[in-house]
Amino acid sequence: MDEYDAVAGLGSLGQSTRLAVLRNLLKVHPDGLNAGDIARMCEVPHNTMSAHLGVLSRAGLVLVERQGRVMNYRADLGGFRGLVEFLARDCCGGRPELCADILQRYPVVTDEPKATESVMTPAFNVLFLCTHNSARSIIAEALLEKIGRGGFRGYSAGAEPAAAPLPEVIDRLRVLGHDVSRLRCKSWDEFKRPEAPRMDFVIALCDAPHGQFCPDLAGPFITAAWPLPDPAQFKGSATERTTLLNELYAMVRRRLEIFTSLPFKTLDRMALKARLDEIGDTARVAP
């Protein structure tokens, strides 16, 4: 587990209901519970439990499985143990073996269910667009792959794709623990082909007020505009540009965290469109 995943895991537990959820799921492991049973055990309304379970699932601490018509939730011991190991990594004066008794309480389970038709599969495909597909959309694609944790699949493209992503963007993503091996600049035209994946959301990240061009977004998917500054225009020293890049990364991450936490099952198309537009409002979403 890297620092990014540890922050996500610890952040998800920084709320009393979610902490109670994980503790209750650990008590019954390897069995699971449905959302209604968990809500009753935690003494919270059923209609708020799905959001809490979604946060824990994206943080890698809870697994969700379909059994007939019922969705059951189970503690993800792999993610939980990884979080404990991360915290214990530097303890005991450089002798982490002294913490072994903590880790032994939660051994890795070798009979975790393999992916089958009964296990939830990625639900939403999201395409991020910007002019050159060399920075903003690349960052969003990489971030969604981590934040989405199987519930979302990120893609990116541009109207006038560059030959390659900005090196400083790739370097920064690599430092932050992202897999950059598949990131490349590509044209929006790739997603017009018959074999292209069907998109559920298309989000333009172009800084339109500054005259940048974004492709036509006409289509059956839900669209939104989240204008963001272009890293190619960042000026100053290497340190100053890195600071600006970190701020941009934080802005994209914050938007995606809000987006992936939306109650998709209870929102119709118009409501989803409105929520996406709210997320793109820079006055509401600060890094």
Which pLDDT belongs to residue 259? 93
The segment(s) of the chain belonging to CATH 3.40.50.2300 are: 124-279
Contact 255, 226 (CB under 8 A): yes
* pLDDT tens column, 6-49: 888 888 898 999 999 999 999 988 888 888 899 999 988 877 88
Q: Taking 50 as the threshold, does the pLDDT of residue 112 lie above it?
A: no
The Cα 248–Cα 241 span in angstroms is 10
- Give the percent of the chain with pLDDT over 90: 31
If you average pLDDT over residues 142-160, what whole number do you get? 88
Q: Taking 90 as the threshold, does the pLDDT of residue 53 lie above it?
A: no
- CATH homologous superfamily, domain 124-279: Response regulator (3.40.50.2300)
CATH for 3-104? 1.10.10.10
If you average pLDDT over residues 169-183, what whole number do you get? 91
Strands 152-158 and 222-225: unpaired
Under the banding of pLDDT at 50, 70 and 90, the label for residue 208 is low
Which pLDDT belongs to residue 214? 53
The segment(s) of the chain belonging to CATH 1.10.10.10 are: 3-104
Give the full edge-to-edge strand order of the sheet including 201-204. Answer: 152-158, 124-130, 201-204, 222-225
Sort residue 211 into left (φ over 0), alpha (ψ -120 to 50) or beta.
left
Looking at per-residue confidence, does 116 or 158 come out higher? 158
Counts for the chain of helices (H) and strands (E), in that order: 10, 7
Contact 138, 165 (CB under 8 A): yes
Tokens read off for 205: 């990240």
The Cα 283–Cα 30 span in angstroms is 45
Residue 240 DSSP SS3? helix
DSSP code of residue 215: -
The Cα 255–Cα 62 span in angstroms is 22
Q: Taking 60 as the threshold, does the pLDDT of residue 169 lie above it?
A: yes
* pLDDT tens column, 227-246: 998 898 888 898 898 899 99
- List, in order, residues 6 or more apart from 168 with CB less than 8 Å away: 231, 241, 242, 245
Under the banding of pLDDT at 50, 70 and 90, the label for residue 216 is low
DSSP code of residue 187: B
- List, in order, residues 6 or more apart from 63 with CB less than 8 Å away: 32, 57, 73, 74, 75, 76, 112
- Give the percent of the chain with pLDDT over 70: 78
Under the banding of pLDDT at 50, 70 and 90, the label for residue 283 is very low
